[in-house]
């Protein structure tokens, strides 16, 4: 009887909302089914979530002028996980609290706390609190829940495969769309992955995350159908990143793979790290001469791959590069004005316009916050959460790499998986200097999941307790 009443009420509500042109009511049965799966089997729910992430669509593509531009269904699923995690920690005490004492976990807690503080002290409190809540459920799902699930042997592989399985149709969709406009149509590549990804840069960043691990899958698989499937997946991803025309993704993937080669050659970090620091200081000392040379490069973005890559160094006439520099300058000015607490999470895109100078503006500049943010995870954190927020993010990077290096040194049976995860994560640490996408589900899922995987593999390598 109760089921009949519920069914009648749902049908009545459906007719009412459909008559008014609101089709979101049709998602209610799916939402209820997801809740049931989450409580019956959280590990299966997590894998479904990862599969759905590349395929998620922002609410603005489904309805006009939405009250909140959520990624569906992933942000709803992440919110369900947040509720479950609160219950695990407070109500049932099922969660192993030893996982919360890891160095990376402590830094994550500090990051969330500081984001909350800066949200309350920021210029746009409502915007910043929404930004904080989104970060909270991403971290709950893709880091804290992942820490628990990854203790099961083989689950890291299943989790990454779930994301890859969802990514394959998106890459094929992108290439087919681009083919219709011309594979070498660089401008068409900016939006050919819509509505699944907002732009080609986040699309390329996701593929840079996945390619090193996909290489590991090919290497690890025994000869046969599995290796063929993984190899086809790898070729699809390589084609995807090539035709993404994302120069930042190309550079970051190359840097990540180069790091992997150094590790495989067993070149000591005592050589590589001082060399990297020395190179950085040489560039800083010679920067005026470097700028003069860069100003002589006039190659613009192009459908020709070689020319497009060369345009990375064009800071005199390439609109994309010049606009990125414009955003960086604004972030530095905003952070310098409020160095302690910044302007609040998510506020940069709404507040940076007055900090643009006329000679820094480009044909793609805007005053309305409609074309992205600070184009740097590091400078974005500085502008929005002050010096403490930027330092906390850098510490997260350092400790995540340290966990990976420790796992590489101590792990024997999964050290190449560790290396693949490190290469993928390092690609985004580098990419993060040029763009920032941690407010999107596509990149947040991979970023936090990879860090969680490295923490668990480090624990396993050093024989930490609480691992199954």
Query: How does pLDDT run across 314-330, given as a tens digit for each residue?
Result: 455 567 778 888 899 99
- Number of domains comprising the chain: 1
Q: What percent of the chain has pLDDT over 70?
A: 81
pLDDT of residue 181: 83
The answer to the question of residue 355 being in a domain is no
The answer to the question of residue 327 being in a domain is no
The answer to the question of residue 345 being in a domain is no
pLDDT of residue 112: 97
The answer to the question of residue 269 being in a domain is yes
This prediction has a pTM of 0.89
The token pair at 413 is 């049976």
Parallel, antiparallel or unpaired: strands 71-72 and 57-58: antiparallel
pLDDT of residue 25: 54
For residue 144, is pLDDT > 60?
Answer: yes
**Between these two residues, 310 and 431, which has the higher pLDDT value?**
431
User: Rounded to whole angstroms, how far apart are CA atoms 462 and 401?
Assistant: 16
The answer to the question of residue 365 being in a domain is no
pLDDT of residue 67: 65
Tokens 């660089």 belong to residue: 186
What's the half-sphere exposure (Cβ side, CA atoms, 13 Å) at 2?
0
pLDDT of residue 70: 82
Q: What mean pLDDT is predicted for residues 33-55? A: 89
pLDDT of residue 429: 94
Inter-CA distances, 370 with 2, 195, 349, 366, Å: 48, 16, 7, 7
The answer to the question of residue 46 being in a domain is yes
The answer to the question of residue 285 being in a domain is no
**Between these two residues, 39 and 138, which has the higher pLDDT value?**
138
Query: How does pLDDT run across 219-228, given as a tens digit for each residue?
Result: 998 888 999 9
pLDDT of residue 321: 77
Q: State the residue range of the domain holding 196.
A: 11-275+371-461
Query: How does pLDDT run across 430-468, given as a tens digit for each residue?
Result: 999 888 999 999 999 999 999 999 999 998 888 765 444
The answer to the question of residue 366 being in a domain is no
CA-nearest of 137, 144, 149 to 102 is 144
452 contacts 143 by C-beta, under 8 angstroms: yes
**Between these two residues, 74 and 273, which has the higher pLDDT value?**
74
Q: What is the DSSP letter of 123?
A: S
């Amino acid at each position: 009887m109760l089921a009949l009443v519920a069914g009648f009420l749902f049908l009545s509500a459906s007719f009412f909302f459909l008559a008014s042109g609101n089709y979101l009511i049709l998602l209610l049965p799916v939402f209820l089914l997801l809740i049931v799966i989450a409580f019956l089997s959280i590990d299966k729910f997590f894998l479904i979530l990862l599969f759905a992430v590349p395929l998620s669509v922002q609410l603005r593509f489904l309805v006009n002028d939405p009250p909140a531009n959520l990624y569906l269904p992933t942000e709803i699923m992440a919110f369900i996980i947040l509720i479950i995690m609160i219950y695990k920690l407070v109500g049932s005490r099922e969660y192993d609290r030893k996982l919360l004492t890891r160095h990376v976990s402590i830094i994550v807690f500090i990051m969330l706390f500081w984001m909350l503080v800066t949200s309350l002290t920021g210029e746009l409190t409502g915007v910043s609190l929404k930004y904080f809540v989104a970060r909270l459920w991403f971290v709950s799902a893709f880091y804290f829940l992942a820490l628990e699930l990854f203790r099961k042997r083989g689950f890291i592989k299943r989790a990454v495969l779930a994301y890859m399985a969802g990514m394959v149709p998106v890459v094929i969709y992108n290439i087919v769309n681009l083919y219709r406009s011309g594979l070498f149509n660089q401008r068409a590549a900016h939006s050919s992955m819509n509505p699944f990804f907002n732009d080609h840069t986040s699309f390329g960043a996701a593929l840079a995350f996945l390619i090193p691990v996909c290489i590991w899958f090919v290497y690890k698989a025994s000869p046969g159908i599995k290796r063929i499937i993984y190899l086809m997946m790898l070729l699809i991803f390589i084609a995807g990143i090539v035709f993404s025309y994302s120069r930042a993704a190309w550079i970051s993937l190359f840097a990540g793979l180069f790091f992997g080669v150094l590790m495989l050659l067993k070149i000591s970090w005592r050589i590589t790290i001082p060399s990297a620091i020395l190179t950085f200081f040489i560039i800083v000392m010679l920067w005026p001469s470097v700028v003069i040379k860069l100003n002589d490069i006039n190659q613009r973005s192009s459908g020709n791959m070689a020319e497009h890559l060369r345009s990375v160094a064009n800071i005199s006439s390439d609109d994309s590069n010049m606009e990125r520099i414009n955003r960086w300058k604004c972030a530095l000015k905003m952070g310098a004005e409020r160095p302690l607490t910044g302007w609040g999470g998510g506020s940069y895109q709404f507040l940076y316009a007055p900090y643009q100078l006329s000679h820094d503006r480009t044909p793609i500049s805007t005053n309305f916050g409609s074309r992205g943010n600070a184009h740097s995870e590091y400078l974005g954190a500085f502008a929005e959460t002050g010096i403490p927020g930027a330092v906390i993010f850098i510490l997260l990077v350092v400790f995540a790499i340290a966990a990976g290096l420790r796992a590489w040194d101590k792990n024997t049976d999964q050290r190449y998986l560790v290396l693949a995860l490190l290469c993928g994560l390092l690609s985004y640490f580098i990419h993060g200097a040029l763009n920032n996408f941690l407010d999107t589900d596509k990149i947040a899922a991979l970023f936090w999941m990879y860090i969680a995987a490295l923490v668990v593999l480090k624990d396993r390598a050093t024989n930490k307790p609480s691992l199954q």
